[in-house]
Structure 1
Amino acid sequence: MFVDRVKIHVKAGDGGNGAVAFLREKYKPFGGPAGGDGGKGGDVILIATSKKHTLYDFKYTKRFKAQNGEHGKGKRQHGKNGKDLMLEVPLGTVVIDAQSGQILCDLIQEGQRCVVAKGGKGGRGNAHFATPTNQAPRYAEKGHKGEDRWLILELKLIADVGIIGLPNAGKSTLISKLTKAKPKIADYPFTTLSPVLGVMDLGDGKRIVLADIPGLIEGASEGKGLGLEFLRHIERTKLLLHLIDVSDFRQMDPIQAFKSVNSEMEKYDPKLLERRQIVVGTKIDALSNRKLLNELEEEFKKMGFPFVAVSSVTGEGLKELKEVIIGEIEKLTAAVIGR
C-alpha cells in the first residue's frame, strides 16, 4: 500500500536521575559523597534510505519512544545512556512539526539524518554538590525529560520526470514502455491509485527516473478526485511529460485537456507551471485523421511547448520521445551546473 502522509508522535528518552551515595573512606565525613550521574536519554532520529518507498510503516504504529537513561549509582558510577531510536524513512520525506507547521528537515540524500526529539540530560549525582560547608550533600539532580512532539511526515517522490494528464490519458501504459515499471492497468477512471516510479536506463551508469502521477481532474486542487493527494509529488521533478489523449477529439479537445490540468497545478502551486513541459499526444494508433497531429503540434509550438505524438501499443514515436526526454534533462542539468 502506498502511503505518503502520516502523523506520528515521537518521545525521546528521559535522562536518568543522579544518585545520592557515600563512600566509607578515612578522613571523609560520612564517607564522602560518591553519587554518580544519570545517563542521557536516547534521541529519536529519522534516517533517509532508498530501501523504502512509502511511509506504510507508520500507518498503524503512531507512537515511538527512545530508551531512558539509567540512574546514577554509587562509587561515582555513571548511569548508562539510553539507546537512540532510529526510524528509517524514504528519500524525499519532509518532516513537519504538527503544532507549529515548521519544516524541521527535508531528507533527500541517502543516509541523511534528522534528530526530531532530543533525549533528556542526566541528573548530576551528589558528588557534584559537595562544598567546604556542606561536605555530605544528601541530594542529587533529577534527570531532564526528553522532548516529545507530534510530527507530520510527508513524502514527495524524487523523480527526474513526472508524467501527468487526465485519467485514462495513457500514463501507466507509457511508463511501462519507457521503463521496467509494471503498474496495474485497467479500463476505468483513476486506473493508477498511487504514484509509480520507473527507471529509464541510459547505459554507462546513467539513468532517468520517471514518476507516473495519478490522473488530475478539474477541481483536483480543491480535493476532488485523486489529484490533490498526489500533486505534491510533482514538486521535485525537473521535467513534466503532459499526456493528452488525441484518439477522440469529440470527447475532449486536447488543448482544453492540457489547459485544464495546468489550471489545477497553478491553483495548487503557481511555481509548478515553471517546470519545463513536453506535451505528448497519446493513442495515435486509434486516430483516423493524422492531419490533426500537425495542427496540434503547431498550436503547442505557439504556446512554447514541444509536442511528440506516440502510440504505446505500436511503439510509434517512443524512440523520438526518449530522445526528447534525454535532451531536455541534459539541458536542465547543464543549466543547474552552470549557475
Structure 2
Amino acid sequence: MTDLMTVSPTPVHRLPRLAEALDMDPGCLWVKREDLTGLAGGGNKARKLQVLLADALAGGCDCLVTGGGAQSNHARMTAAAANIAGLGCELLLTRRPDSFDPGGNVLLDRVLGATIHWVEGTVLPYAELESAIREHSEKLVLEGRRPYALPIGGSSALGARSYAEVARELDNLIDPDLVVVATGSGGTHAGLVAGFGDHCRVLGVDVGARPALATAVEELAVAAAAMAGLSRPSGSCQLDTGQTGGGYGVPGEAAREALLTAARTDALLLDPVYTAKAMAGLFAARRSGRIGRTTRVVFMHTGGLPGLFTRRFTEWLTGESR
C-alpha cells in the first residue's frame, strides 16, 4: 500500500472552555482531530483515500477521477494522493460564475497539478456530478487511459469502512455517548455507525450537499459493516437537517456563531462549509436538551480550513467587502 504520509490515530483533545460556554461538564466534550491527518493540509478524506488508492493501484489504474464543489476538500486531497502514487488526477468541479473564487482549495488543486474540468451551474448537482465523473472516466478509457473513478467525497462502502476503525479508536479512548459529525456525502458518518454498530451514537449534521441523505447513510453503513465483518447497525440515521443555511457552501448565522465561539474559547479553527455547520448542530443539540450536561460528546473535526481563506467567507465572517 502506498504510504500517504498520514497521521493515525489522530489526537483527541478536551474542549473545557467550549464545554463551559455550553454549560457542560468540562470533562465531557472532546474533539477528534481528523484535520491533522497530514495529507496536503489534512482532513478526514485521507483515511478513505488510503484504501481507495490501494484499490486503484491493485487494478493497474494510471489516474484518479473525482469531483465536487469548487472548494472540495476531497478533490484537493485526491490530487495529493495521486501525486504521491505517481498517478494523474482529473477533477470535475462545479462552480457558479457569479460567486467563483480562485483561492482556497482551488489554488491548492492547481499547485498540486490536477487537471480541472469546470462544470458550470449550481453549486453541487449531486446526481449529475456523479454521472459526469463516470462519463469522464469512460471517455478516458476510450483514449487508452486506465482511470479509477472515486465517488464524491470518496463515499463508497470501501471508503466508508475506514471510519469503522475510527469508531473503535474512540471506544478504546473515551467510549463516547455521542459523536457529532458534518455529513456531506455521508461516508464518514456511515463508517462511524458501522464501527459503533448503532445509529444512535452518531449525530450527523446535514451540510446540504446530498439529497436523500439519511437513506444514503443507512445504505452505506450496512455495506461498510458487511465489508468489515461487523453486524448490521441498529436503529436509524440520526440527522440534524436544520443547519444547512442557504444550502451547500452557504453558511448561516448559526454557523458563524459556532465558528467564532469555538475559535474564541479553545482556539479551535473550523471551516464554513462543513465543521462550522456541524458545531452549530452540536450547539442546537445542547440547547434542545438532546445533549445533556454530562453527555460524553466527541466532535469530529473533519478539516477543510483552506476554504476559509476565500474572499466570500472573509466577507461573511467580518462583514467587510473590498
TM-score bracket, normalised by the shorter chain, equals under 0.3
Greater helix fraction, Structure 1 or Structure 2: 2
Give the number of the structure whose residues are more often strand, by fraction.
1
Q: TM-score, normalized by length of structure 1?
A: 0.26
Q: Relative contact order, CA 8 A, sep 6+: which one is greater?
A: 2
Q: Which has the larger radius of gyration?
A: 1
